[in-house]
Amino acid sequence: MNNSIWKIQKKGYDQLTKNLKVQVVVVGGGIAGFLTAHELSNRGFEGVLLEANQILEGVTEKTTAFIAGLQGILYQKLNKTYGLSLAKKYFKLHENAIYEYEKLVQEHNIICEFTKLPAYLFTRKSSKSLIKEFDTLKKIGTGVNYLTKLQNVPIKINGVIKLENQAMFHPLKFLMGLPINFTIYEHSQVVHFNLKQKVLYTNLAKVEAEHIVFATHFPLFTCPNLFPFKMYQSKSYCLAVSNTQNLEGLYIEDTSDGLTLRNYKHHIIIGGGDHNTCEIKKVSPYKNLKKEADKLFNKSPVHYEWETQDCMTMDELPYIDRLNKTYPNVFIITGFNKWGMAKALMGSKIIADLMQNKQNEFYELCAINRKAAIKNPVKTLGHALNSVWNLFVSFCGVPIENYKNLKNNEGGIFLVKGKKRGVYRDETGKFYFVNARCSHLKCELNFDPHNKTFVCPCHGSLYDIEGNVLREPAIKPISVNKN
């Protein structure tokens, strides 16, 4: 089961089959692309939105849909790295996002269960870091309170920060209620582009544009800016259990792999189990989440479960900017670090302001040329070493096991007729063979036994057993042969 609670029936859109010349093209039909198209159309721009598959079915459909300023142990890091002024601005971005979401809901009469309620950041470990986070938030002037217990969730904690007037909603109902004057094309994957000429190519057509916005999950290009060395992807998991208990808040644990909790109608959504896509867990993360759910909510039945991948930057700030001075009419919006609801909305305004050569008070949070790698050398070096190691394995490692020993529903990387191949054996015993290297930067793939997919350990590209791309940055499938 990989079925999100947010999944709804949506209008379908045509595939792009003819060449176009437009003012703006937005690449990516998730929340960032959708909100950017909405904002630009409100400012008088005209254009198209291109989605490789179906709109709002990627990360947007697999979110927990928190709009909250509390995001783990973050503000003390921002204060240490960039100073208190920037940390304060980051908090203000999220407060403004809540205001803007509420305004849009009211303006367009969107029924999306938008609800304001408190957020709670809690710890089950030592309270030392949480107290430091609280002190930083107080210096920012956020109006937080420090508590020693939770009222509505039976978790034994060692401290909790409470922040009023945060928000949650149904993301797809909200987005489908927004008017967008851009023409939308589905099943129109960008397979090649020339940024100098401002031309994009799909399988069936080309689009020439005055302005290009890349709102894909992970950037589709390596150069300029070397995004694959500035970002990585993290995987996380969610369950929705049938339970009518009102939690009366949003709950966020202080660790990167900790729990998140919220209500949606007659369900409680439990998130967690985050890990780098370079790791393949031996035990299904859903099992661990289910154990937590059973303890907290008396073995309530699971009705939905889903997973997602988030783009992570070295300093936990997004990239929302012009690509560079060479390509001033090419823009990018990415790197939401698991908290994309606020950043997508405020990022759409940053992109629109850049396009109109206006100043935006939050631009410095998102600028591409900030020294994120230099400011975070340990994380940057760790990510670089992981990529180098996987490239080494790709070219030098030699599998020794025989793929014919695979049991049904198993897979892995094997030598097949002298060449490395990803191999999967389905429930009938049929073998599937794919190229063992990612089509993005040639890292060797891993097989994920829980989802029956091949995943790139370097940058998180995901393929099905037939080699089709499920998640970027890869845009090309890997060769497939069947027996």
Q: What is the pLDDT of residues 357-367, one digit of tens each?
A: 999 999 999 99
- The answer to which of 45-54, 83-92, 119-128, 369-378 has the lowest mean pLDDT is 369-378
Q: Looking at 284, 310, 336, which one is the last position of a domain?
A: 310
Q: Which residue has the higher pLDDT, 174 or 400?
A: 174
Domain span including residue 295: 72-78+112-168+233-310
Mean model confidence pLDDT for the chain: 92
Beta-bridge mates of residue 117: 166
Within-domain flag for 379: no
Looking at the structure, do residues 409 and 272 belong to the same domain, yes or no? no
Given a cut of 80, whether residue 386 has pLDDT beyond it is: no
CA dihedral 34, 40, 43, 45 (to 10 degrees): -130
Residue 377: what pLDDT?
Answer: 73
Residue 483: what pLDDT?
Answer: 44
- Pairing status of strand 190-194 against strand 206-214: unpaired
Give the total number of structural domains in the chain: 2
Average pLDDT, integer, range 161-174: 98
Task: Give the CB-side neighbour count of residue 239, counting CA atoms within 13 A.
Answer: 25
Within-domain flag for 164: yes
Looking at the structure, do residues 301 and 407 belong to the same domain, yes or no? no
Phi/psi region, residue 268 (left: phi>0; alpha: psi -120 to 50; beta: rest), is beta
Within-domain flag for 224: no
Q: Which has the closest alpha carbon to 338: 62, 80, 104, 125?
A: 62
Average pLDDT, integer, range 249-257: 96
> How far apart, in whole angstroms, are the C-alpha atoms of residue 404 and residue 385?
33
Tokens of 121: 């950041």
Within-domain flag for 341: no
Token match 């003390």: residue? 76
Within-domain flag for 239: yes
Average pLDDT, integer, range 389-396: 65
Looking at the structure, do residues 132 and 268 belong to the same domain, yes or no? yes
Q: How confident is the model at residue 396 (pLDDT cuts 50, 70, 90)?
A: low
Q: Looking at 310, 339, 361, which one is the last position of a domain?
A: 310
Within-domain flag for 200: no
Residue 137 sits in a domain whose CATH number is: 3.30.9.10
- Pairing status of strand 20-27 against strand 206-214: parallel
Winning range, highest mean pLDDT, from 12-26, 273-287, 460-474: 12-26
Average pLDDT, integer, range 325-346: 96
Q: Which residue has the higher pLDDT, 216 or 392?
A: 216
Beta-bridge mates of residue 248: none
Looking at the structure, do residues 259 and 146 belong to the same domain, yes or no? yes
**Sequence-separated (6 or more) residues with CB below 8 Å from residue 2:** 305, 306, 307, 451
Average pLDDT, integer, range 301-320: 94
For the stretch 440-455, pLDDT in tens is 888 899 999 988 999 9
For the stretch 108-155, pLDDT in tens is 999 999 999 999 999 999 999 999 999 999 999 999 999 999 989 999
